[in-house]
């Protein structure tokens, strides 16, 4: 079971998402909260595997809360959720150590998929967010000479799919490989690029002109 904590100030959305996630066979909700004032103590006490963190909340925004949580629990896996796609927020979330960034969606199954990917050691980026990341960094690094990284042909294919914002399931279908094989390739890509998340891998891929 994947233990999940939710921080979301919209009462109706929080309650409906919590009920759906709690009904999923692989997810156990440790709790849902309207703000992140006690987030650090909650995470330390409940030890969730994945934390769903809204950005816009009263008292303390989600990015600030994420930074504080990661100071106290460095290996915390935090999935940022928001209705916003602006570059500043995306950049702050990536730099703050987000394990993923999902645009709020009426389809709760997309949350289950994102949670499973993050819990499995991967990451999750909505396609729109992946495009934002590319726009943010490609101009900055376009003049740099490409750097050699010993990626296999399949790893390059998988990395290219990550840059496009594709989920692990979508990558598996596109590359005609299993979900577990995708996860293995992603872990090898992270090791070779010296990164810990999909956002960092995308930045490195653009910087090094690997895709």
Q: State the pLDDT at residue 170.
A: 85
To which residue do tokens 């990558």 refer? 171
Q: How far apart, in whole angstroms, are the C-alpha atoms of residue 42 and residue 148?
A: 43
Q: How far apart, in whole angstroms, are the C-alpha atoms of residue 183 and residue 181?
A: 5
- pLDDT tens sequence across 115-125: 988 887 766 76
Q: State the pLDDT at residue 136.
A: 61
Q: State the pLDDT at residue 149.
A: 78
Helix (H) or strand (E) run with residue 17 in it: helix 11-23
Q: State the pLDDT at residue 163.
A: 80
Q: How far apart, in whole angstroms, are the C-alpha atoms of residue 102 and residue 107?
A: 12
Q: How many CB atoms lie within 10 A of CB 85?
A: 14
Q: How far apart, in whole angstroms, are the C-alpha atoms of residue 182 and residue 186?
A: 6
Q: How far apart, in whole angstroms, are the C-alpha atoms of residue 201 and residue 78?
A: 17
Q: State the pLDDT at residue 203.
A: 76
Nearest to 185 by CA among 208, 139, 161, 154: 154
Domains of the chain: 2-120 (3.40.50.2300), 132-207 (3.40.50.2300)
Reply yes or no on whether the pLDDT at 167 is more than 90. Answer: no
Q: How far apart, in whole angstroms, are the C-alpha atoms of residue 80 and residue 102?
A: 6
Reply yes or no on whether the pLDDT at 4 is more than 80. Answer: yes
Q: How many CB atoms lie within 10 A of CB 88?
A: 9
Residue 117: which residues within 8 A CB-CB, separation 6 or more?
100, 123, 124, 167, 168
Reply yes or no on whether the pLDDT at 131 is more than 80. Answer: no
pLDDT category at 132 given cuts 50, 70, 90 is low
Q: How far apart, in whole angstroms, are the C-alpha atoms of residue 77 and residue 118?
A: 7
Average pLDDT in the 71-97 region?
77
81, 8 Cβ separation under 8 angstroms: yes
Q: State the pLDDT at residue 54.
A: 92
To which residue do tokens 């309207």 refer? 34
- pLDDT tens sequence across 44-83: 999 999 999 998 898 998 888 998 998 899 888 999 887 7
Q: How far apart, in whole angstroms, are the C-alpha atoms of residue 208 and residue 147?
A: 5
pLDDT category at 10 given cuts 50, 70, 90 is very high
């Amino acid at each position: 079971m994947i233990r999940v904590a939710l921080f979301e100030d919209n009462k109706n959305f929080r309650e409906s998402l919590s009920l759906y996630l709690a009904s999923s066979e692989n997810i156990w909700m440790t709790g849902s909260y309207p703000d992140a004032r006690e987030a650090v103590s909650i995470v330390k006490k409940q030890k969730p595997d994945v934390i769903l963190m809204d950005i816009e909340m009263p008292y303390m925004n989600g990015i600030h809360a994420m930074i504080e949580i990661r100071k106290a629990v460095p290996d915390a896996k935090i999935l940022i959720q928001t209705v916003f796609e602006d570059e500043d927020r995306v950049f702050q979330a990536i730099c703050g150590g987000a394990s993923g960034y999902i645009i709020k969606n009426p389809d709760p199954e997309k949350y289950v998929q994102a949670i499973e990917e993050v819990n499995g050691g991967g990451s999750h980026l909505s396609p729109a967010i992946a495009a934002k990341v590319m726009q943010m960094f490609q101009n900055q690094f376009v003049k740099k000479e490409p750097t050699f990284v010993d990626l296999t042909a399949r790893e390059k294919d998988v990395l290219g799919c990550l840059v496009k914002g594709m989920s692990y399931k979508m990558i598996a279908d596109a590359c005609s490989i299993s979900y577990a094989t995708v996860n293995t390739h992603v872990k090898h890509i992270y090791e070779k690029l010296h990164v810990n998340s999909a956002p960092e891998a995308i930045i490195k891929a653009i910087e090094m002109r690997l895709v």
